[in-house]
Amino acid sequence: EPEVTQTPSHQVTQMGQEVILRCVPISNHLYFYWYRQILGQKVEFLVSFYNNEISEKSEIFDDQFSVERPDGSNFTLKIRSTKLEDSAMYFCASMGDPYGRMNTEAFFGQGTRLTVV
Amino acid sequence: AQSVTQPDIHITVSEGASLELRCNYSYGATPYLFWYVQSPGQGLQLLLKYFSGDTLVQGIKGFEAEFKRSQSSFNLRKPSVHWSDAAEYFCAVGYTDKLIFGTGTRLQVFP
């Protein structure tokens, strides 16, 4: 069964450092997402990406965040200068519907736990 | 604004008992509704989804959910809970091309 894979599973970084979280979406999917879950809180939308550009982003996704699809398979989230409050589980997701309609399933990766110290 | 409310933060049931997890949504149009489950240290797995048609939808692992437009609800049910169902459950509404999640309900199952 196809799956979304994320690496690393856990990353510890010092405050102010740059981190890159990596995701390999399902190969024929067209929409890609990052979500964030601060410990004990709900899953929050960060950004959606389609056709090599951001289609929507939340207010959480400020200038410190960026996404990229550097090749045909990877989808990355970069945090330029991490803050303590960036500590969270970050989930990548992908969806196959070409129109981004929500009547198809978004497949989630296992997540990357980011700890900023 | 679109939102999802899960009023129960934590529910405890005995194994074999029935279960109902509540979800209410706020959305201007016909919603796309989802239930996801998250086991400890795991990602999000889709249990079931509602788009249109029959308001009672069946999902995996013996779960079902009923869409009630008049109550803006999409409650998740299971007739007999197993210990392996202990997890965090998230209700979500699809809005444009993204999901808006509720705060989650943690289910604890006692033997």
Q: What is the full DSSP assignment across chain B? A: --EEE---SEEEEETT--EEE--EEE-SSPPEEEEEEE-TT--EEEEEEE-SS-SEEE-GGG-EEEEEGGGTEEEEEESS--GGG-EEEEEEEEETTEEEE---EEEEEE-
How high is the pLDDT of residue A37? Answer: 93
Residues of chain B in contact with residue A110, where contact means CB-CB under 8 angstroms, are 42-43
Mean pLDDT value of segment B41-54: 87
CB contact under 8 A, B104 and A45: no
Beta bridge partners of A112: A90
Mean pLDDT value of segment B35-39: 93
CB contact under 8 A, B103 and A41: yes
How high is the pLDDT of residue B22? Answer: 98
Say if residue B28's pLDDT is above 80.
no
Amino acid at A112: T
pLDDT tens for the 117 residues of chain A, in order:
778 999 999 999 999 999 999 999 998 888 899 999 998 888 999 999 988 899 999 999 999 999 999 887 899 999 999 999 999 999 999 987 655 565 577 889 999 999 999
**Residues B24-45: b if buried by 16+ CB within 10 A, e if exposed:** bbebeeebbbbbbbbeeeebbe
Closest in A41, A45, A111 to B98, CB measured: A45
Terminal-residue alpha carbon distance, chain B: 41
CB contact under 8 A, B99 and A35: yes
Residue A72 phi, psi (nearest 5)? -80, -5
Contacts of A117 (CB under 8 A, 6+ apart): A12, A13, A14, A15, A84
